[in-house]
A and B are shown apart, each in its own frame.
Chain A
């Protein structure tokens, strides 16, 4: 990573928070795919990959990124949305996973399932998920969907607390 404008841009992106999961920066979330230096003092190009097709936070994130770059005095900049390769929760950094846990959200465990592998509808068992509060694995899923597109709802049987899980996708 360079220490020039690009290096500064990456550092600034580490301070732009996801509006729906404000424990994570957009860098922790893995949606910043590249920062491209312009030819001569032109616009920095910041390449973002959205998490979900319908994620309503995408536009707010774009705006937040541009404002932060402008405030740091390293603008002008523009955002380019890149669909492929598709975002996966595997791109959430180790640091991001730790922050999620501290925030009370169980991070995605293991690697995301390969979407082309045939589904199992019979005798399927969910992998045990550790409660982000008491670390017990005696937990159960309440709902496959949660308060945002990226989360599911769980409950810990040991400490009786409900918690959210960042879906592996």
Chain B
């Protein structure tokens, strides 16, 4: 079996991995809808967004792998790390759930990424700024799509409303992690690499408030629970995502197509 690689603990590398892994794992989860979405148009939409996210992840992981002379390529980082070395937000690794959960999660993550990309356009790291300049356009489109669905479902039938409320209640538990800043954020803010994620909270909440108001849904209260995926301590679902993602590279080391 292909052995795992070790990643540089440098906070700059960790900061880029947090974004890259969030895109990668959400892309993997959205890809699961291919062939299973409730209507053909949404099947295509989920696959399209997964493609954008995996493309963003490729650029970010390629960049992270080159930082500090590590010399890893995108595939090594995507497929050959152990669970604790993945830095994605916990929310994106949760099972895809029903369609309501998927659009609620997409709205939360795409909105967050849009504000993050906006700030990263002026990163001191020119490659990261260039990736942000492209990705912000895509995130904007994803956020709009998810928001339109939340409004339609929240303001729809009793059943669609019930499911959307349930999705919101469970996804919201993982929201504080987005903005729970730590030493990695402080280092990024100091070096000009990127913003402290806590500083994106107000703009993100304003978007979510506008969406939920239009959908006639109440914003859940913030829970005391703190998820920690971005620090490498994941939910019980992460191992299953990685098993499926990594199987080929682990069983057939270096396999390419």
Contacts and interface: CB of A to CB of B under 8 A. Distances in A.
Contacts of A147: 44
Interface in B99-148: 114, 117-118, 121, 126-127, 129-131, 133-141, 143-145, 147-148
Q: Which of A50, A85, A122 has the most CB of B within 10 A?
A: A122
Contacts of B136: 115-116
B210 A169 contact: no
A86 B56 contact: no
Contacts of B211: 121
B51 interface: yes
Interface string B143-161: 1110110010000000000
Contact of A53 (B42, B121, B135, B140): B135
The DSSP consensus for interface residues of chain A is loop
Query: Range of interface residues on chain A?
Result: 20 to 34
A87 interface: yes
Contacts of A83: 59, 127, 130-131, 133-134
A143 B135 CA distance: 21
B94 interface: no
A91 interface: no
Contact of A87 (B45, B131, B134, B213): B134
Given A113-B140, A142-B41, A53 B56 contact: yes
Contact of A121 (B42, B53, B56, B210): B210
A121 B130 contact: no
A128 interface: no
Nearest to A115: B136
A39 interface: no
B140 A86 contact: no
Contacts of B147: 119, 121
Given A115-B118, A119-B143, A144-B141, A54 B210 contact: no
A21 B248 CA distance: 32
Query: Range of interface residues on chain B?
Result: 35 or more
B134 A53 contact: yes
Contact of A144 (B127, B137, B144, B207): B144
Interface string A5-27: 00000000000000000000000
Contacts of B144: 119, 121, 144
B145 A144 contact: yes
Contacts of B126: 84
Nearest to B135: A53
A72 B109 CA distance: 47
A167 B144 CA distance: 13
Contacts of B137: 86, 88, 112, 115, 169
Given A54-B51, A84-B130, A115-B140, A145 B41 contact: yes
Given A144-B45, A145-B41, A119 B140 contact: yes
Contacts of A113: 140
Interface in A100-130: 112-113, 115-116, 118-119, 121-122
B114 to A, nearest CB: 8
A113 B136 CA distance: 11
Contacts of A144: 45, 141, 144-145, 148
A140 to B, nearest CB: 13
Given A143-B42, A144-B144, A145-B48, 20 more contacts: A52-B55, A53-B52, A54-B52, A54-B53, A84-B133, A86-B134, A86-B137, A112-B137, A115-B114, A115-B137, A116-B118, A116-B136, A119-B143, A119-B207, A121-B210, A144-B145, A145-B49, A149-B48, A149-B51, A167-B141
12 contacts: A52-B134, A55-B51, A83-B131, A84-B133, A112-B137, A118-B207, A119-B140, A121-B147, A121-B214, A144-B45, A144-B148, A145-B145
Interface of B: 41-42, 44-45, 48-49, 51-56, 58-59, 114, 117-118, 121, 126-127, 129-131, 133-141, 143-145, 147-148, 151, 207, 210-211, 213-214
